[in-house]
């Protein structure tokens, strides 16, 4: 048996702009996807549980599945298995991360599966290989544009600054409230829409992206020095710029304004927008009130820690 787990992520600053090579700042969170591989001669299958979906099973030989939603998770696992010709194993997946919510669940599943398979089949992949192969596989499944942010955070953990390059950053952990609209979103569709807007109005959207990049860069020093009020202000500015490129929704706005009224230091969309999640930075005393305000506004709300550990592998020989 080989097991691996990998974290989800939040993007603190810079989503969408990062797709055009502008600097973004993300942190791995303390919610994880877990994968177990077992040798099952003659049978290759994927079982997934607790993905905030109903349980399901997919047999790769018969192609039998129960639940259409399940396809989303199993597509990522089966793509990893196919890439490396893995057979005669059962993959069991479970995850704390809601799917299609902008918290990096698909990247965490791909990275955990790949890292477990690497150990199980002695593929000889380094951590850098895991990050780059996982990015390739996730992108192929999503058939779209996208940055390596999610797969890099699932692999390395901690905080990363991503632009054309990926740089790990040594920054303190933060408590962050996450508010989910409970509406699934399609990252590819949102990225295509924003990139289309950039192509149509480069003179307008280009400077918006540059401003987002400046926020991400400035935020690094603020986070390092724990200047949280200023960090919160920059979250509010970044949110306004994301609204400007059209990825806000009524439900996301309601959660953002509820968080600000609930005394958050700042609040913004996290991830692609168009549904999914927002984040809010609690004041030192105010996380209980903040979570209550988000729930009252109709969201699912929980606290996460940022800057958490990357992929972890355990082999039971
Ligand atoms: C999605 O979590 C973040 C986006 O910037 C897309 C990406 O970076 O791949 C919208």
DSSP-derived secondary structure for 132-143: HHHHHHHHHHHT
* Closest ligand 1 atom number to CA of residue 11: 2
Mutate to test the pocket of ligand 1, among 19, 160, 275 (most ligand atoms within 8 A of CB): 19
Direct distance between the N- and C-terminal alpha carbons of the chain, in angstroms, rounded to an integer: 7
Q: What is the largest CA-CA distance in the chain?
A: 59
- Give DSSP secondary structure letters for 6-44: EEEEEEEE-TTGGGGT--EEEEEEEEEEEEEEEE-TT--
Centroid of ligand 1 to alpha carbon of 272 (angstroms) = 5
Which residue has its alpha carbon closest to ligand 1 atom 8?
Answer: 147
Which residue segments constitute the domains of the chain, with CATH numbers given?
Answer: 2-171 (3.30.230.10), 174-306 (3.30.70.890)
The answer to whether 158 and 28 have CB atoms below 8 angstroms apart is: yes
Which residue has its alpha carbon closest to ligand 1 atom 2?
Answer: 271
What are the backbone angles phi and psi of residue 226, rounded to the nearest 5°?
A: 50, 45
Q: pTM score, two decimals?
A: 0.91
Centroid of ligand 1 to alpha carbon of 315 (angstroms) = 32
* Closest ligand 1 atom number to CA of residue 145: 9
Centroid of ligand 1 to alpha carbon of 172 (angstroms) = 23
Amino acid 317: pLDDT? 60
Amino acid 117: pLDDT? 97
What are the backbone angles phi and psi of residue 292, rounded to the nearest 5°?
A: -65, -40
Residues classed as catalytic: 150
Q: Bridge-partner residues for 11, per DSSP?
A: 26
Burial of residue 288 (CB within 10 Å: 0-12, 13-18, 19+) is exposed
Q: Determine the Cα–Cα distance for residues 34 and 49; give it in Å rounded to an integer.
A: 10
Which helix or strand (DSSP H or E) is residue 257 part of? helix 250-261
User: Which 8-state DSSP code applies to residue 265?
Assistant: S
Q: Determine the Cα–Cα distance for residues 200 and 185; give it in Å rounded to an integer.
A: 23
The answer to whether 152 and 10 have CB atoms below 8 angstroms apart is: no
Amino acid 47: pLDDT? 86
The answer to whether 111 and 151 have CB atoms below 8 angstroms apart is: yes
The pLDDT averaged over each successive group of 10 residues in the chain (317 residues) is: 96 96 97 95 84 52 56 86 95 86 91 97 96 94 84 98 94 97 88 96 98 98 98 98 98 97 95 95 91 96 97 84
Amino acid 120: pLDDT? 95
Amino acid 60: pLDDT? 62
Sign of the CA dihedral running 263, 267, 273, 274: positive
The answer to whether 87 and 78 have CB atoms below 8 angstroms apart is: no
Amino acid 29: pLDDT? 98
Which helix or strand (DSSP H or E) is residue 180 part of? strand 175-180
Q: Residues near ligand 1 with C-beta < 6 Å?
A: 11, 15-16, 18-19, 102, 146-147, 149-150, 187, 191, 271-272
Amino acid 55: pLDDT? 46
Q: Determine the Cα–Cα distance for residues 268 and 296; give it in Å rounded to an integer.
A: 18
Instruction: Sort residue 143 into left (φ over 0), alpha (ψ -120 to 50) or beta.
Output: left
Which residue has its alpha carbon closest to ligand 1 atom 10?
Answer: 272
Amino acid 53: pLDDT? 47
* Closest ligand 1 atom number to CA of residue 16: 5
């Amino acid at each position: 048996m080989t097991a691996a787990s990998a974290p989800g992520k939040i993007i603190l600053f810079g989503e969408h702009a990062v797709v055009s090579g502008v600097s973004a700042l993300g942190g791995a969170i303390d919610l994880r996807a877990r994968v177990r591989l077992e040798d099952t001669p003659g049978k290759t299958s994927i079982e997934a549980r607790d993905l905030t979906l109903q349980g399901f099973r997919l047999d790769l030989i018969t192609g039998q599945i129960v639940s259409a939603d399940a396809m989303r998770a199993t597509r990522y696992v089966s793509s990893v298995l196919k890439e490396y010709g893995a057979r005669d194993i059962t993959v069991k997946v479970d995850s704390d991360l809601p799917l299609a919510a902008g918290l990096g669940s698909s990247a965490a599943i791909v990275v955990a599966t790949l890292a477990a398979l690497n150990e199980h089949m002695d593929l000889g992949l380094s951590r850098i290989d895991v990050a780059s192969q996982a990015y390739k596989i996730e992108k192929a499944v999503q058939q779209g544009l996208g940055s390596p942010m999610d797969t890099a955070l699932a692999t390395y953990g901690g905080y990363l600054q991503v632009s054309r390059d990926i740089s790990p950053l040594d920054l303190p952990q933060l408590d962050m409230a996450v508010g989910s609209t409970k509406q699934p979103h399609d990252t590819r569709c949102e990225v295509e829409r924003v990139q289309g807007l950039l192509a149509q109005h480069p003179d307008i959207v280009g400077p918006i992206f540059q401003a987002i990049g400046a926020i991400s860069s400035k935020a690094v020093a603020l986070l390092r020095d724990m200047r949280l009020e200023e960090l919160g202000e920059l979250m509010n500015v970044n949110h306004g710029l994301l609204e400007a490129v059209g990825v806000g929704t009524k439900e996301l706005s309601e959660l953002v304004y509820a968080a600000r009224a609930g005394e958050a230091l700042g609040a913004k969309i996290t991830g692609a927008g168009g549904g999914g999640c927002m984040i809010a930075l609690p004041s030192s005393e105010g996380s209980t009130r903040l979570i209550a305000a988000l729930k009252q506004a109709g969201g699912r709300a929980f606290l996460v820690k940022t800057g958490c550990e990357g992929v972890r592998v355990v082999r039971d020989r």
